[in-house]
Structure 1
Amino acid sequence: MAQSAVPEQRAAQQPVPLRVPVRDILPWAVFAAVLGLVLIYFVGAEQGATSLFSGTWVHEFTHDGRHLLGFPCH
């Protein structure tokens, strides 16, 4: 009978999951959430009465992304 390419000792071992502490992930998760909210604001709400910047340059810059994501703009 043919022998296995993996020794029997290694086949019986289970991989140990890597533990990442929450305190290492939390700053990056907060950063990603804030960045996501800023992006959603600029794509979805930066125009008209809620506009933080004068002019229409932000609207024109995000216009196609606005339609792609389903936000009405005009």
Structure 2
Amino acid sequence: MSQTSATPLAPVEIPSIPLAQIAPWALFFGLLGLLAIFFVSADQGAVSIPSGMLLHEFVHDGRHLLGYPCH
């Protein structure tokens, strides 16, 4: 049997990201997610940014897939 010598591994440093750098991105993606949820779940065309039912018809099948009633 051959004996191998184990070389010690260097300690792994986990980088820390300051909260001040994460907060603007978290806020941006949080608002983007809320906007997506609004368009898929609550928008029935009455308060739609573009007038008409185009947006409703665009997300219609997704609403049913996610279990939102829309008619």
* Alignment-derived partner of residue 2 in structure 1: 3
Contact 2:45 2:53 in 1 (8 A): no
Structure 1 runs of 4+ aligned residues shifted over 3 Å read none
Deviation at 1:14, TM superposition (A): 3.0
Aligned counterpart in structure 1 of residue 19 of structure 2, from 8, 18, 22: 22
Show CA shifts across 1:36-55 (max 9, x none).
01000000111154x22431
- Unaligned 5+ segments in structure 2 are none
Show CA shifts across 1:11-68 (max 9, x none).
xx4312110111111111000110001000000111154x224311111000111111
Amino acid at match of 1:57: L
CA–CA distance in 2 between the matches of 1:70 and 1:59? 15
Task: Name the one with the larger helix percent.
Answer: 1
CA–CA distance in 2 between the matches of 1:48 and 1:57? 8
Q: What is the TM-score when the length of structure 2 is the normalising length? A: 0.82
* Alignment-derived partner of residue 53 in structure 2: 56
Q: What is the TM-score when the length of structure 1 is the normalising length? A: 0.79
CA–CA distance in 2 between the matches of 1:36 and 1:60? 20
CA–CA distance in 1 between the matches of 2:44 and 2:51? 9
- Unaligned 5+ segments in structure 1 are none
The sequence identity of aligned pairs, in percent, is: 48
